Amino acid sequence: MHVDELPTPCAVVDLDVLKRNVRTMADRLKALGVTLRPHVKTHKCLEIAALQREAGARGFTVSTLGEAVDLAEAGFTDLTWAFPLILNRLPEVRRIAERATLRLLVDSPEAIDALESAVLPPGPPGGAAGVECHVWLEVDSGHHRSGVDPGSAVAVELARRLHDAERLVFDGILTHGGHSYRGKNREELLAAAREERRVMADFAKLLMSLGVEVRGVSVGSTPTMSVVEDLDGVTEARPGNYVFHDGMMCSMGACSTADVALTVLSSVVSSQPGAEHSVIDAGALSLSKDPGLDWVEPASFGRVYRDDGSGEIEPDFWVEALSQEHGIVNRSLPVGSRLRILPNHSCLVGPNFDAFQVVEGERVVDRWSIRGLGRSGGR
Ligand SMILES: Cc1ncc(COP(=O)(O)O)c(C=O)c1O
């Protein structure tokens, strides 16, 4: 099938670009001497996880237990749930941990109490009566979302508790350098990457000097991992967005538009005489309402590609408003015209669709289910 025959709206993945992105990040992190544990929340797709594993990923990162259930069922059995522990989900955690290594994140005494009392059955780790419970301490390296302040006494106290806990396996310290999303160019991304590494390596050193063994130091975001030049003191990285990239990554200088693997195909459904806009069939439930980076001009919900196959963005052409299923573009075009849109944030696009339409050039070569990951077990 030709890409122009696809019903719209749909999420299109360029296979060559996807494979190149997967390979580039794997090679980059290998050269920097760390293990790649990619975040699957961006794609929620088993075929893409398999490509990442082929390229050298060792273990995966999930944002929901639904993703963990589906990955474990498909034979991906070394998983980190990189989300602050939801205490009321411990029975599910326990069930998943019976068939996969599920590594958890904590940043509070309440979470450690709950793990010690609720998840673990009596008996030694890995013993017949029990499952091992692997735990990371989440650290705030500058994003200021979740994670302990590495300069605080509480951080050391929680690390020591995890290390000393009889029936928990302390995997080490983990952070997400999400503050890199405030960067406006490669230099600013590099500064965030250096800070992420330094904060984590220093905290690991401090803990070791206090007799707390730190087995792993896990970092990662796509902006930081795309530019970082030194990961001394780090053991693994967890970028996710890099498989697709998106408008935000292009604006930050983490990639170019030629490196974007996920686009949304849509068509014009209404264009009134005299109006300076058209209505397209890609609304908020296709593109998401992510406004992108607040300093990017013009503010938009997505940019439109040239229709000449050049892979370049058309100047002065963008999605200016969204309602649930309607999108508004700032040009008047004949009804039926097809538009290819560069989304602001790819992680919030894929999960809105049932499947990725996989293309090689203009040819549709496959259809990869997105429902297959994270939906069967709920979120
Ligand atoms: C905890 C955690 N780790 C890793 C990532 C991956 O970062 P990115 O999407 O920038 O690749 C995220 C993304 O939100 C995250 O929240």
175-187 tens-digit pLDDT: 998 999 999 999 9
Mean pLDDT of 85-108: 94
pLDDT, tens only, 281-333: 999 999 999 999 999 999 999 999 998 888 899 999 999 999 999 999 999 99
Between residues 37 and 375, the one the model is more confident about: 37
- Cα(148) to ligand 1 centroid in Å equals 17
Is the per-residue pLDDT at 140 higher than 60? yes
Q: Write down the pLDDT at residue 331.
A: 97
pLDDT at 193 over 60: yes
Ligand 1, pocket-test mutation among 138, 225, 238, most atoms within 8 A of CB:
238
Query: What atom in ligand 1 is closest to the CA of residue 83?
Result: 1
Quote the pTM value: 0.94
When mean pLDDT is compared across 25-34, 95-104, 204-213, 276-285, the lowest value belongs to 95-104
pLDDT averaged over every residue in the chain: 93
Site residues for ligand 1, CB cut-off 6 Å: 39, 61, 82, 176, 220-222, 238-242, 347
Percent of the chain at pLDDT > 70 equals: 94
Rounded to 5 degrees, φ, ψ at 19 are -65, -40
pLDDT exceeds cutoff 80 at 120:
no
Q: What angle do CA 78, 201, 158 make, to 5 degrees?
A: 70
Q: Is the pLDDT of residue 123 over 50?
A: no
Residue 221 Cα to ligand 1 midpoint, Å, equals 5
**Measured CA angle at 98 (ends 93, 99), to 5 deg:** 105
Atom of ligand 1 nearest to the CA of 224: 10
On the question of pLDDT at 146 being above 80, the answer is yes
